[in-house]
A and B are shown apart, each in its own frame.
Chain A
């Protein structure tokens, strides 16, 4: 009964919402330069969730990363492997359903392009990962955990970013 009524109501109002949604979308597109506070809230939530996972999965431990590169510990390979598998499945479902985010915007993966830096930079990054036992995510998680030494890793990462910003015009891409 209730659903019938609801249907009737929406039928009745059918012409009105189209006009409303049109004004809504134009209003949204004009202020789309900066994200809404809801976006920041959910981003912070997912980030916190991820920080807990990085810490509790021990991805943040130097020894785990070192043992991965020594082929003595399958833990990190299994984490990366299962993580990629679940992410792949999730993205397949999103594509299949043509799902939108909670703001109504269609979800679209923006491909990262190929250039020489993907190999050269990738190799450099891997070397740093092996030396410090951390990649950018775990660096932040280590900082949050109160690991003072992670400040050196973080300062290095920022120095490396500045180095790239400066060297970019001279590097093969």
Chain B
């Protein structure tokens, strides 16, 4: 049992449990599962005097939970990698440990932040919660997540990776 837990978890174990967090978060906290709103929350918190509607009209008090949720994921990441793993996890391949690697992560991160907020959600809010609630725009969003991802991997892969 401990052996099983200390190894990487198979999809049939981790996938359903990830799905379970959607009803769980509704039942225990009354919140819809989504992670990228926390970015907007950070923006609104760090720029309280911003003149941009996107940050000015955002209710920082109502959104506090998104940061608490994100902080929970940070703690969970620590527990998962430090206390629940027999071997260290290779998060990023060695070639990312370079100036070009860091630049790629920053540029990619910018696409993530911009895209997730423009689309109104990321993998959690659209692909998991949205589709699980039969929300049609979320199906479209998920298809385009893969259009973008496959396009970059197959179209620019030889330059980027």
Contact = CB atoms under 8 A, between A and B. Distances in A.
Contact of B82 (A128, A142, A145, A157): A145
Given A69-B153, A78-B12, A118-B119, A143 B140 contact: no
User: Which of the four size classes fits the interface of chain B?
Assistant: 35 or more
Given A43-B68, A136-B38, A165 B43 contact: yes
For A47, A60, A69, A75, the residue with the greatest tally of chain B CB atoms inside 10 Å of its CB is A47
B5 to A, nearest CB: 8
A37 B18 CA distance: 24
B148 A51 contact: no
Given A127-B152, A145-B81, A165-B52, A159 B110 contact: yes
A35 interface: yes
B32 to A, nearest CB: 6
A42 to B, nearest CB: 4
Interface string B121-158: 11111111111111111101111111111111110000
Nearest to B59: A33
B90 interface: yes
A45 B73 CA distance: 9
22 contacts: A34-B64, A44-B71, A47-B69, A55-B76, A61-B91, A79-B18, A82-B11, A88-B133, A88-B134, A123-B148, A125-B116, A126-B151, A128-B109, A128-B112, A130-B148, A130-B149, A139-B109, A159-B109, A161-B114, A164-B117, A164-B118, A168-B53
